[in-house]
């Protein structure tokens, strides 16, 4: 168990066709269409044959036996999951998901040898603050679609014109419509540098960054690198665990007696993940390719792997359907299937396997830009303010809210947008 905990520690803290047309992003630099830095318009259109094959595979699912317990301690429960998969194979419509994406300005540009897909929505309000928002695993750009309106058009969502943002949402390398790395090296630090290149290429000389899950790790890396123009970062899964606490967790020790009530609760939440909910990460850190053979071949297997995390990590009492619709979840799962990114997305865990609680917490102290943190009650653990202040010396904003979980932008887009308005208010 101790060896497994050491493998898991990096994770907490840290045949598709489409249509593209060369173009220039409004407000971006002048480029030629053949240049590597060209920004090309992007539209999604999956061939009917691919969707028919997916439906055929779904409807041919070979089901396992039912769990022998009445709770979720053995994983995804058969009955409820069968209902989701039945809907996927009969009533779900990917074309509606395509339409949502294609209604937004989408682009592709090559950065450091890899095509990067992103959404860019500019506000109608003057002096909007540019923000780059990074998703995580098993999420995607679908996580952030609901926050585009409240951020770019705040006056329609209870805010003021001076709260407006220009919103840039990239797909991480190996995820969604971005390119799949063909060699090692695409970890959070390289992504952070690529995001700064992207923002500069779009013509932004000052901007902020936001992320949860892997997006938080990337945003932290941006904060350490502190490129010119980065005003600050906001994370909703902060890396705050002190080194001595991390060591106690890895050693399987009970919570130290010196901890406050909130610190003890955070310790117990992480210990619960270590002992009961973290096997998903252990296999991606050590054997992402082996795992992907099953996930790339069985849509129902892929869906079960991701649905388990939706249930665990939403603020829903273990039932993600209370806060996310079937279509919400299946849009995300279907994107992974159609882009065949189960392997390339899992490889990010392997890439980052030299990080752990101690190393990450120490590295946050190297962040040179202002940091804002929002703590959501359904997050994997609720970072106490005491730990957060030690981990982020440049902390300018810390707020605990009463709703939302690990997929906060997806679950509570209005609340999430309000947090970003407040977090970055002093940096405009």
Does the active-site annotation cover 293? no
Which residue's structure tokens are 């919400």? Answer: 328
Catalytic residue among 213, 220, 308, 312: 213
Helices (H) and strands (E) in the chain, counts: 18, 10
Residue ranges of domains in the chain: 2-64+72-427
Q: Determine whether 49 is exposed, middle or buried from the number of CB atoms within 10 Å of its CB (0-12, 13-18, 19+).
A: exposed
| The pair of three-digit structure tokens given for residue 24, joined into one six-digit string | 């220039």
Q: Determine whether 277 is exposed, middle or buried from the number of CB atoms within 10 Å of its CB (0-12, 13-18, 19+).
A: middle
Catalytic residue among 280, 336, 349, 398: 349
* Residue 42, helix vs strand vs coil: strand
| Dihedral sign for Cα atoms in the order 397, 403, 406, 411 | negative
Does the active-site annotation cover 157? no
Instruction: Give CA angle at 95 (94, 100), nearest 5°.
Output: 100
pLDDT in tens, the chain (428 residues): 444 444 444 333 333 344 444 333 333 333 445 677 899 999 999 999 999 999 999 999 999 999 999 999 999 999 999 999 999 999 999 999 999 999 999 999 999 999 999 999 999 999 999 999 999 999 999 999 999 999 999 999 999 999 999 999 999 999 999 999 999 999 999 999 999 999 999 999 999 999 999 999 999 999 999 999 999 999 999 999 888 888 888 888 888 999 999 999 999 998 888 788 888 998 999 999 999 999 999 999 999 999 999 999 999 999 999 999 999 999 999 999 999 999 999 999 999 875 544 345 568 889 999 999 999 999 999 999 999 999 999 999 999 999 999 999 999 999 999 999 999 999 99
Distance separating alpha carbons of residues 316 and 67, to the nearest angstrom: 21
Distance separating alpha carbons of residues 375 and 420, to the nearest angstrom: 12
**Contact by Cβ (8 Å): 198, 168:** yes
- Compute CA 188 distance to the chain's CA centroid, rounded to the nearest angstrom: 12
Instruction: Give CA angle at 170 (354, 162), nearest 5°.
Output: 115
* Residue 41, helix vs strand vs coil: strand
Does the active-site annotation cover 274? no
| The pair of three-digit structure tokens given for residue 362, joined into one six-digit string | 């120490």
* Residue 72, helix vs strand vs coil: coil
DSSP 211-230: ESTHHHHHHHHHHHH--TTE
**Contact by Cβ (8 Å): 73, 318:** no
Whether the model clears a pTM of 0.75, i.e. scores above it, the answer is yes
What fold is seen in the domain 2-64+72-427?
Answer: Rossmann fold (3.40.50)
Question: What stretch of H or E contains 390?
Answer: helix 385-391
| The pair of three-digit structure tokens given for residue 318, joined into one six-digit string | 């273990």
CA distances from 156 to 124, 143, 152, 427 (A): 12, 21, 9, 23
Structure confidence at residue 251 (pLDDT): 84
- Compute CA 50 distance to the chain's CA centroid, rounded to the nearest angstrom: 26
Structure confidence at residue 30 (pLDDT): 35
- 158 Cβ contact partners less than 8 Å away, ≥ 6 residues apart: 414, 418
């Amino acid at each position: 168990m101790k060896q497994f905990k050491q493998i898991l520690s990096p994770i907490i803290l840290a045949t598709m066709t489409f249509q593209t047309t060369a173009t220039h992003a409004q407000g971006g630099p002048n480029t030629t269409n053949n240049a590597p830095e060209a920004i090309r318009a992007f539209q999604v259109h999956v061939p009917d044959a691919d969707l028919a094959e997916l439906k055929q595979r779904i409807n041919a699912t070979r089901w396992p036996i039912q769990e022998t317990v009445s709770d979720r301690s053995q994983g995804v429960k058969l009955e409820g999951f069968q209902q989701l998969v039945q809907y996927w194979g009969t009533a779900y419509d990917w074309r509606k998901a395509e339409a949502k994406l294609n209604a937004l300005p989408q682009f592709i540009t090559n950065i450091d040898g890899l095509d990067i897909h992103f959404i860019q929505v500019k506000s109608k309000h003057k002096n909007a603050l540019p923000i780059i928002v990074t998703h995580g695993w098993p999420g995607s750009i679908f996580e952030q679609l609901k926050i585009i309106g409240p951020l770019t058009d705040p006056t329609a969502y209870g805010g003021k014109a001076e709260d407006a943002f220009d919103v840039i949402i990239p797909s991480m390398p190996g995820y969604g419509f971005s390119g799949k790395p063909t060699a090692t090296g695409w970890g959070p630090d390289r992504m952070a540098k690529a995001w700064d290149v992207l923002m500069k290429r779009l013509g932004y000389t000052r901007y902020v960054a936001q992320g949860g899950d892997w997006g938080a790790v990337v945003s932290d890396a941006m904060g350490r690198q502190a490129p010119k123009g980065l005003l600050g970062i906001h994370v909703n899964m902060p890396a705050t665990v002190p080194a001595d606490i991390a060591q106690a967790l890895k050693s399987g020790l009970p919570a130290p007696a010196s901890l406050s009530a909130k610190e003890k609760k955070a310790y117990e939440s992480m210990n619960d993940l270590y002992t009961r909910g973290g096997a998903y990460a252990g296999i991606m850190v050590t054997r992402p390719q082996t795992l992907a053979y099953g996930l790339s071949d069985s849509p129902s297997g892929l869906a079960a792997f991701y649905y388990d995390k939706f249930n665990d990590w939403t603020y829903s009492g273990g039932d993600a359907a209370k806060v996310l619709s079937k279509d919400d979840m299946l849009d995300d799962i279907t994107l992974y299937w159609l882009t065949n990114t189960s392997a390339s997305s899992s490889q990010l865990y392997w890439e980052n396997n030299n990080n752990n609680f101690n190393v990450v917490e120490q590295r946050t102290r190297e962040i040179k830009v202002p940091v804002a943190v929002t703590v959501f009650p359904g997050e994997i653990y609720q970072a106490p303010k005491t730990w957060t202040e030690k981990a982020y010396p440049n902390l300018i904003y810390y707020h605990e809210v009463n709703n939302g979980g690990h997929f906060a932008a997806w679950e509570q887009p209005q609340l999430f947008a309000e947090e970003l308005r407040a977090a970055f208010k002093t940096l405009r």
